[in-house]
Amino acid sequence: MDPDNIVKRDFQEALQKAEKKRSEKKLPEIGRAAVMNLRHTFRSLKIDQGENIYYVMRQMGHSSIQVAIDVYGHLLKDWKPEAAAKTDEVIFGSFLQ
């Protein structure tokens, strides 16, 4: 498949169909969108869902985990109560109950 054809034909056609359906349902327009927007949306959603950064790196085709952290690091959550709870369970076990 030719990447230019995907963007110029398939993606634009899919976008037009989506706009038509949104219009029929009286939803706001999607507006101008690019294939790159889909990559960024996918990446952001996966990170927000707590997906492993290595998995995201591989899906995005980056060469190293460092590249992924440099590019996506600002999306990683600083506070993870689930991780803290797991550590507490390992350290304190039944003492917390």
Please compute the mean of the pLDDT values over residues 68-86 and round it to a whole number: 79
- Asked if residues 62 and 77 have their Cβ atoms less than 8 Å apart, the reply is no
Please state the separation of Cα 72 from the chain's center in Å: 10
- How far is Cα 24 from Cα 18, in angstroms, rounded to an integer? 10
pLDDT of residue 20: 93
- 51-68: pLDDT as tens digits: 888 998 999 888 898 988
Taking CA 72 as the corner, what is the angle to CA 67 and CA 74, rounded to the nearest 5 degrees? Answer: 130
pLDDT of residue 95: 60
Question: How many residues would you count in the chain?
Answer: 97
- Asked if residues 82 and 91 have their Cβ atoms less than 8 Å apart, the reply is no
Structural domain boundaries in the chain: 3-96
pTM of structure: 0.55
